[in-house]
A = this chain, B = another copy of it.
Amino acid sequence: MSHPFDTALALDSGDSGDPGTLRGRTHPEWANMVGPYGGITAAVLLHAVQRHPDRQGDPLALTVNYLAPIGDGEFTVTARAVRTNRTNQHWVLELAQDGAPRCTATTVFGSHRDTWSDTEARPPAAPAPETLPTLAGPHFVVWFNNYDARFVEGGMFFESAEPAESTEPGDSSTSTLWLRDSSGRSLDFPALAAACDIFYPRIFRRRGRFVPAGTVSLTTYFHADSAELAAVGADFVLGTAYANRFGAGYFDQSAQLWSRSGILLASSHQMVYFKDDA
């Protein structure tokens, strides 16, 4: 039986056989409050490029713009290689339903080479995941059941629509958690793209409650190469996220995902719409 993540990623080119025009469908296991989890949509778009016969290299950067809610059911993904250079390749993508675009995206793939290297960022302090409780499910937000999540800091009310006692508004928007696929699937680039969106909107953390909010644009930079991802396997990764500025209906949030051995796998940024009267 296929894993829920692979099921959600499934794309086919149908009768046309055109590898740049693909059909997929939403899956109830990945439902968010409105439409699918943004992370799974990012993963599907990245996968559309990865499975394309013209693809060269590994993902370096992915930007997904969320134009309109995706309804339950079928969608079409178009993926077009706009430029292939010696060391990198640029793609333009669109996800549509009923002929209307729901997402636009661009991604850059490239080859990894041996160069000088250093990681300047530092992972947040965190006890080993084995010492922390799994956030008990099933969760109010369905897609969250696909993750074994263990909060180090800034956990919140995923169990119900109501804030728990621990969700007092605070000065810090930071959340830090260990996460892994709850059914033991290994990390790969689409899974990394999906996991970068696991951090609930930082406005919830600051306000201590749900407010209407949705990602407008999401950008992820992939630092890991294939070997580094393979070394993670199905182990926990450590995620941390925070916001810079909230106001006038929008905020940004930035995230990092780290391997247990201290490798920065990805950094990710998003601009989020919210509604919360002053």
Residues of chain A having any CB pair with chain B under 8 Å: 60-61, 63, 65, 67-68, 82-83, 85, 87-88, 90, 92, 100-101, 104-106, 108, 110-121, 171-173, 203, 206-207, 216-217, 219, 221, 223, 225, 242-250, 252, 254, 256, 264, 267, 269, 271, 273-278
**Are A250 and B110 CB-contacts (below 8 A) given A116-B207, A118-B206, A120-B245?**
yes
CB distance from A192 to the nearest CB of B (A): 14
Q: Across the interface, which residues of B come within 8 angstroms of A117, CB to CB?
A: 245-248, 278
Copies of the protein in its oligomer:
2
Rounded to whole angstroms, the CA-CA distance of A88 and B248 in the bound complex is: 13
Q: A60-B250, A118-B206 are in contact. Are A273 and B216 (CB under 8 A)?
A: no
Known contacts A65-B108, A219-B269, A243 near B120 by CB under 8 Å: yes
- Chain B residues whose CB sits within 8 angstroms of the CB of A277 once the complex forms: 114-116
Chain A interface, >50% SS class? strand
- Are A85 and B68 touching (Cβ within 8 A)? yes
Residue of B nearest to A174 (CB): B120
Contact B108 A217 (CB under 8 A): yes
